[in-house]
Amino acid sequence: MVADDTVFSVLYDKFLFWGILVGIITFAWLFYAMIRYRASIVPDTTDVDHIVVGSFPVDRHNTKIEILFYVLPTIIVVWLVVLALASNTAVWVIPDEDEGFDVEIIGQQWFWEFEYKDELTWQDDSRLSGIDVVWGDNVTIQHSSNADATNVTIVINGDANTYALDTITGSTVVENSFNRFVSSSVLVEDSEGNELHRWGHIPINHKLSTAAGDHFIVPCDEKVVLNLFSYTSDYSQLNSTYWGVQHSFWLPEWGVKEDLVPGLEGGTLMWFWPDDPGTYNIRCAEYCGLDHSKMVGYVDVVSPIDRGVEFCDEDTGVQKRGGSY
Q: pLDDT digits over 59-77, tens only?
A: 666 778 788 888 988 988 8
| 243 inside domain | yes
- The letter for the amino acid at 164 is A
Give per-residue pLDDT as tens, 117-154: 999 999 998 888 899 999 888 899 999 999 999 999 99
Which pLDDT score, from 0 to 100, does residue 319 have? 38
Which pLDDT score, from 0 to 100, does residue 51 have? 57
Give per-residue pLDDT as tens, 188-240: 999 998 999 999 999 999 999 999 999 999 998 888 989 999 876 554 555 44
Whether 79 and 153 share a structural domain: no
Contact by Cβ (8 Å): 141, 188: yes
Instruction: Work out the burial of residue 42: count CB atoms within 10 Å of its CB; fewer than 13 is exposed, 13-18 middle, 19 or more buried.
Output: exposed
pTM beyond 0.85:
no
| 323 inside domain | no
End position of a domain, from candidates 92, 126, 144: 92
How many domains are there within the chain? 2
Whether 135 and 70 share a structural domain: no
| 202 inside domain | yes
Tell me the pLDDT band of 310, cut-offs 50, 70 and 90.
Answer: low
